[in-house]
Structure 1
Amino acid sequence: MNKFILFLVTLIFSASVLAHGPTPQKVQESVTVNVSPEKAWELVKDFGAISTWLSSAKVTKIEKRGEDTYRIITLESGDKLDEKLRSTDEDLKKIRWEITKGNVPFTDFNAYMIVSKGSNDNESVIQWTARFYRVYKLNPPIPEGQDDATAKAAVQGFVDSGLAGLKKVLESK
């Protein structure tokens, strides 16, 4: 009887280990720009200015919904993203937001950017951190295009393009 109970307990715990769902993903990159942190922060914190530095963002519209601020980004593909501003911290030079709706190969996207001083007064480091999940929330088999690799590649593309765009725009002013 004791061996049977031990077998059942082992079986239950083994099954729960396999039923964990998707693993959270993270992309974190940074770029050094040759402008002061104050100048870099002015552009980064402007929630409506993303279409000036993210190449895939063609049009940005800001909307107030109650107390919340949203930006609706029209991508070059024609798809739209709804993003909600979570917070802006002037002291830390940090902005946080989330994607609430959009046709993208990832879900539960939350991100933040921080601007910090570089090695001198006219140098800044801009860090972009994004956390998200793949679209398919169940266990394998995972449909093509809804896997971790697809989600990570898409977010990595946004982050890399965005940081390159920020550097280009900031250093050309």
Structure 2
Amino acid sequence: MKKILALLTLAILPLTAAAHGPSPQKVEESVVIKADPAKVWALVKDFGNWQKWHPAVVSTKLETKKDEDGTDATFRTVTLKDGGTLYEKLTGIDDGIMKIKYELESGALPVSDYYAYVSVKAGPGAGETTVTWFGRFYRVYKLNPPIPPGQDDETAINAVTGVYQTGLANLKKVAEGL
């Protein structure tokens, strides 16, 4: 009887492993900027004006409304140069550690359950700043394979990496020009 149960367990185990769905993905990009951290933080923490430094953003519209728990929350609608939009929720700004956190509610990125933060710290040299942009998310398609084209992990990772790299490169250019 024990052998039969062991065989059944071994036969079922691979099915349960495949049934869990997608794994969370993470992207982290950093840049060193030759500018004072306070100047860089002033640009990054301005949740309603990322178009000042992110080249893909045309405009941002902020609104305050009640969250699920009844508290006031800040949301933004980001209009992109390609015509797409992102609807994001600000989840925290900490001036002490210079970190801004937000979530993607809906929009043009091929991701789901997206959470991100941007942190600003003193850089390796005097008058330098290190900015790190981190995101955790899932691919769009949450079921098991076959995965439709454009809804896979690689597409999600490439899209987020592209947003971070172009944004940080232009943030560097803008902040160093101040």
Give the TM bin, normalised by the shorter chain.
Answer: over 0.9
Q: Which residue of 2 aligns with 1:94?
A: 99
Look up the match of 1:80. Answer: 85
Structure 2 Cα separation of the partners of residues 39 and 65 of structure 1:
29
**Partners of 1:38 and 1:150 in 2: CA distance:** 35
Counterpart residue identity of residue 54, structure 2: L
User: Gaps spanning 5+ residues in structure 1: where?
Assistant: none
How big is the shift at 1:17?
1.2
Q: Give the 5 Å matches for 1:52-71.
A: 52-66=52-66, 67-71=72-76
Q: Quote how far apart the aligned CAs of 1:132 are.
A: 0.9
What amino acid maps onto 2:121 in structure 1? Answer: S
Q: Deviations over 1:11-42 (max 9, x none)?
A: 22221112121111111011111111111111
State how far apart, in whole Å, the 2-side matches of 1:88 and 1:32 are.
Answer: 21
The whole-number CA distance in structure 1 between the counterparts of 2:104 and 2:18 is 29
1:24-62 per-residue CA deviation (whole Å, 9 max, x = no partner) reads 111101111111111111111110111111111111111
CA contact (8 A) 2:74 2:90 kept: yes
1:149-168 aligned at under 5 Å gives the runs 149-168=154-173
Deviation at 1:120, TM superposition (A): 3.4
Moved more, 46-55 or 118-127: 118-127
Percent of paired sites with the same residue: 46
CA–CA distance in 2 between the matches of 1:79 and 1:152? 18
1:75-120 per-residue CA deviation (whole Å, 9 max, x = no partner) reads 1121111010000111111110010011321111110011100133
In 1, Cα distance between equivalents of 2:49 and 2:128: 21
Structure 2 unaligned segments of length 5 or more: list them.
67-71
State the SS of the aligned residue for 1:77: coil
What is the TM-score when the length of structure 2 is the normalising length?
0.93
Q: Is contact 2:50-2:60 (8 Å) kept?
A: yes
Moved more, 137-146 or 116-125: 116-125
Partner of 2:23: 23
Aligned mates of 1:114, 1:103 — CA distance in 2? 24
The match for 1:144 is: 149
Q: How far apart, in 1, do the equivalents of 2:126 and 2:108 lie? A: 40
